[in-house]
Structure 1
Amino acid sequence: MTQRYQKICKNGHQLSVTYRGTSDPTEFCPECGKSVISTCQFCHAPIEGWDEPDGIVYLGQRTADRPNYCKKCGQPYPWTSLIISTVIELLDSDEEVSDQDKTLIKSAIPDLLVDTPQTKLAEAKFKKGFSKVSILVKDSLYNLLVDVLSDTVKKSIFPN
C-alpha cells in the first residue's frame, strides 16, 4: 500500500484524498476561499488519505474520512476548532438559556465529536441543556453538528 494524503481547506471541505505531497499546497478552496492544508498546523504531520493498493488498478471512487483531530499530536484540525468555537458563539447569542445550561452544553461538545468513555455523559449534558435552547439556535446547532457526530451520538441527541 502507498499512503496518499488529503487536501482539506480550513473550513473542512475535502479537495483530495490522493495528494502525493507531504507539505501544504499553496492553493485556496474553490467553495469558500479558505487556504488548503494537507498537514497538521501544530506538528506538521500529513493528513492521511487514500491507501493506494500497489500493483492494482483501482477504478472506484477514492474516499477517506475527514479526521477531526491529528493522529500524531491529538490537536484539533482547524475545521474542528471552528465547529467548537461556532457552537460556543451560537450558545452565547441565546439570551433565553442560563449560563449554567450554556456551560453544560459547551463542556459536552468536544466529547460528542469523538467516541470516548465520556461520550455518554456528554450526550446527557448536551440533551439537558439543549432542551432549553431557542428553536433558532437548536436548528443552527443541528445543522452545524450533524455532519461531524457519529451515527450513535446523532441518534441519541437528535432522535428525529
Structure 2
Amino acid sequence: MITIDGFRTAKICSNGHMITDSAETINDNSKFCKTCGASVISKCPHCQSRIHGSYHVDHVVCISSEEAPVPAYCHNCGKPYPWTEATMRAAEHIIDMLDELTAEQKKQLVDFIPDIIVETPQSRYAA
C-alpha cells in the first residue's frame, strides 16, 4: 500500500469537490467531477506533490464515514489549490464591484481574503 507521510492521495476536482480521499484503495479513475464536471487532480499544480487525503496507519482499522477535509493549500509548497484560488478570485471580483469603496479600501479588503477563507490568527479580525 502506497502512502506519503502516512497520508493517502486525495483526488479532488478543480472546484473543490472530494472525489476520493484514498486513491490508492478506491478504484475511481474519474477524470471529471460527477457533481460539476470540472477536471480532477491528485497533485499540486505548482509542485506536483500528491494531495493529502486520509491518514493511514498500518495495522490500525478506523471505521468512519467521514472523508478527509479538502485542503486549501499545498502541504509541500504552500501555494493555494485551484479551488482556493477560485474562491479568492471570486471574492476579489465582488469587492471590485463595490462602488462605494475607495481603491485603498478595496485593496485592504482583498488583502484580508486569505485570512477569511482559512483559519489563521488574523481570521477573527479579518471577519
Match in the other structure for 1:69: 73
Instruction: Tell whether the 8 Å contact from 1:50 to 1:62 is kept in structure 2 after alignment.
Output: no
Match in the other structure for 1:9: 13
Aligned partner (choices 46, 51, 54) of residue 42 of structure 1: 46
Which has the bigger relative contact order, CA under 8 A and spacing at least 6? 2
| Identity, % of aligned positions | 34
Letter in 1 for 2:105: D
Name the SS for the 2:88 alignment partner.
helix
TM-score for the superposition, normalised by structure 2? 0.80
Name the SS for the 2:54 alignment partner.
strand
Letter in 2 for 1:49: G
Letter in 2 for 1:70: C
Runs (5+) with no aligned partner, structure 2:
none
The CA deviation at 1:110 is: 1.8
Match in the other structure for 1:30: 34
Deviations 1:74-108, CA, capped at 9 Å, x for gaps:
11100111111111111112222222221110011
Instruction: Tell whether the 8 Å contact from 1:7 to 1:38 is kept in structure 2 after alignment.
Output: yes
Distance 2:94 2:119 in 1: 24
Provide the aligned length of Structure 1 versus Structure 2.
120
Match in the other structure for 1:79: 83
Match in the other structure for 1:18: 22
TM-score for the superposition, normalised by structure 1? 0.65
Letter in 2 for 1:59: I
The CA deviation at 1:63 is: 2.2
Distance 2:45 2:89 in 1: 17
Instruction: Tell whether the 8 Å contact from 1:17 to 1:50 is kept in structure 2 after alignment.
Output: yes
Name the SS for the 1:28 alignment partner.
coil
The CA deviation at 1:111 is: 2.9
Distance 1:109 1:68 in 2: 13
Give the alignment's Cα RMSD to 1 decimal. 2.3
**Which one has the bigger helix percentage?**
1
